[in-house]
């Protein structure tokens, strides 16, 4: 059965309509499904954390290739369907929770140990209404992950895959660059889903660095500086930092930038990650 027919069959059988508020767009393109699993280089040594398995389309391929698959799904209806569908798989587990609220760290450590697996990876077709918070949680919680391969909106993928200083760069570009190497691995049209979302999508792969790309005294200060720098897109970095009250007055901000040899007229997206790290250390020491 092809994936479109299979998806419609499952939705009919369980009387399911996709929930827009939960970001439910089910993948019905088998080339993309296999493309995601291949890009993630899933093997029997891997623990896979799948966020939002939905009807289980991606899950069924992951179960064949991975050592263990732990799914985290908020919608109880989906949990019932996949529990039914994959009841015969000994390497399947589903947790009925909000991914933003679970302790991923304990899930990963427990499963790596109990199943004697070498590494953990996240593989998912993410709910788009919370793409950025999910990715930032995965990175900022310093989870023991080797890679994150996820489907996101195309324009988000472009910002995630951009290098600092590139024309699509935003606050998240710098945060990602601090933790990982990133690349777009597949472009996906909206016709690959039921129902079709309004936007096109792309699969992005983040390969986590063994240690962050730059060293700073205090990580939260670095993320705060990056966030404030990008809060007012059209302003210069100096104005954004001053308006965001990163230091007490404008003179102090200008003095800092002069000392760090950073042009007073520069905009945030032209900075290097190293320069953000220098600003964060200066602020922390002031
Ligand atoms: N993986 C399936 C596929 O590719 O066909 C479904 C992907 S759909 C884009 C996103 C899934 O995330 C839905 O099943 C939705 O119920 C689930 N979801 C939405 N919010 C969630 C949350 N906060 N925590 C966990 N799962 C969530």
Which residues, including other chains, have CB under 8 Å from residue 85's CB and lie 6 or more apart?
10, 56, 60
151 lines ligand 1 (CB under 6 A): no
pLDDT tens track, the chain, 286 positions:
599 999 999 999 999 999 999 999 999 999 999 999 999 999 999 999 999 999 999 999 999 999 999 999 999 999 999 999 999 999 999 999 999 999 999 999 999 999 999 999 999 999 999 999 999 999 989 999 999 999 999 999 999 999 998 888 899 999 999 999 999 999 999 999 999 999 999 999 999 999 999 999 999 999 999 999 999 878 899 999 999 999 988 999 999 999 999 999 999 999 999 999 999 999 999 8
Q: Does 86 sit in the ligand 1 pocket, CB within 6 Å?
A: no
DSSP H helices in the chain: 3-13, 30-39, 57-65, 76-85, 104-114, 131-140, 154-161, 171-179, 219-229, 237-243, 250-259, 273-285
Closest atom, ligand 1, to C-alpha of 100: 23
CA separation for the pair 53, 168 (Å, rounded): 30
Phi (first) and psi of residue 154, to 5 degrees? -55, -45
φ/ψ of residue 115, rounded to 5 = -105, 5
For residue 212 and ligand 1, the question of a CB distance below 6 A is answered with no
CB of 247 closer than 6 angstroms to any ligand 1 atom? no
* Prediction pTM value: 0.94
Q: Which atom of ligand 1 is nearest to the CA of 28?
A: 5
* Candidate from 74, 128, 202, 203 with most ligand 1 atoms within 8 A of CB, to mutate: 74
User: Is 73 close to ligand 1, i.e. is its CB under 6 Å away?
Assistant: yes
Residue to probe by mutation, ligand 1, list 127, 136, 151, 202, most atoms within 8 Å of CB: 127
3-state secondary structure of 92: strand
Check if the beta carbon of residue 100 is closer than 8 Å to that of residue 134: yes
Q: Is 244 helix (H, G, I), strand (E, B) or coil?
A: coil
The best mutation among 19, 21, 54, 76 to test binding of ligand 1, ranked by most ligand atoms within 8 Å of the C-beta, falls on 54
Asked whether 27 lines ligand 1 (CB < 6 A), one says yes
Instruction: Please report, for residues 18, 95, 166, 210, the alpha-carbon distance to residue 63 in angstroms, rounded to integers and kept in the order given.
Output: 24, 16, 38, 27
Instruction: Say if residues 131 and 137 touch (Cβ distance below 8 Å).
Output: no
Please give the torsion angle defined by the CA atoms of residues 267, 136, 186 and 200, in that order, rounded to the nearest 10 degrees: -80
Q: What is the pLDDT of residue 41?
A: 98
72 lines ligand 1 (CB under 6 A): yes
Q: Is 201 in the pocket of ligand 1 (CB under 6 A)?
A: no
The span from the first CA to the last CA of the chain, in angstroms, equals 64
**Closest-CA residue to 136 (of 111, 164, 109, 156):** 156
Residue nearest to ligand 1 atom 12, measured at CA: 52
Instruction: With H, G, I as helix, E, B as strand and everything else as coil, classify residue 159.
Output: helix
**Residue 242 has which token pair?**
């001053």
Q: Tell me, using a 6 A CB cutoff, whether residue 277 lines ligand 1.
A: no
Torsional class of 240: left (φ above 0), alpha (ψ -120 to 50), beta (otherwise):
alpha
Contact 62 CB / ligand 1 (< 6 Å): no
Q: Which residues contact 268 (CB under 8 A, 6 or more apart)?
A: 229, 230, 237, 240
């Amino acid at each position: 059965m092809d994936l479109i027919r299979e998806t419609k069959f499952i939705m009919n059988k369980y009387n399911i309509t996709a929930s827009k508020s939960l970001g439910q767009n089910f993948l019905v393109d088998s080339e993309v499904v296999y493309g995601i699993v291949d890009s993630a280089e899933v093997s029997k040594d891997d623990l896979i954390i799948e966020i939002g398995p939905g009807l289980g389309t991606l899950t069924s391929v992951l179960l064949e290739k991975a050592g263990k698959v732990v799914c985290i799904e908020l919608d109880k209806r989906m949990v019932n369907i996949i529990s039914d569908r994959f009841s015969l798989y000994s390497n399947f587990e589903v947790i009925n929770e909000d991914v933003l609220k679970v302790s991923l760290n304990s899930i990963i450590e427990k499963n790596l140990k109990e199943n004697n697996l070498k590494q953990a990876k996240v593989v998912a077709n993410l709910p788009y209404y919370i793409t950025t918070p999910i990715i930032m949680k995965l990175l900022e919680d310093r989870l023991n992950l080797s890679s994150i391969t996820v489907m996101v909106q195309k324009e988000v993928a472009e910002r995630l895959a951009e290098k600092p200083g590139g024309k699509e760069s935003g606050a998240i570009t710098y945060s990602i660059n601090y933790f990982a190497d990133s690349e777009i691995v597949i472009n996906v049209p909206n016709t690959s889903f039921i129902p079709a979302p309004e936007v096109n999508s792309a699969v992005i792969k983040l390969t986590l660095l063994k240690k962050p790309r730059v060293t700073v005294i205090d990580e939260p200060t670095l993320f705060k500086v990056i966030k404030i720098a990008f809060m007012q897109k059209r302003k210069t970095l100096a104005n954004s930092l001053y308006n965001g009250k990163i230091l007490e007055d404008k003179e102090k901000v200008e003095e800092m930038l002069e000392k760090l040899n950073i042009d007073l007229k520069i905009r945030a997206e032209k900075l290097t990650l190293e320069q953000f790290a220098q600003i964060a250390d200066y602020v922390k020491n002031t």
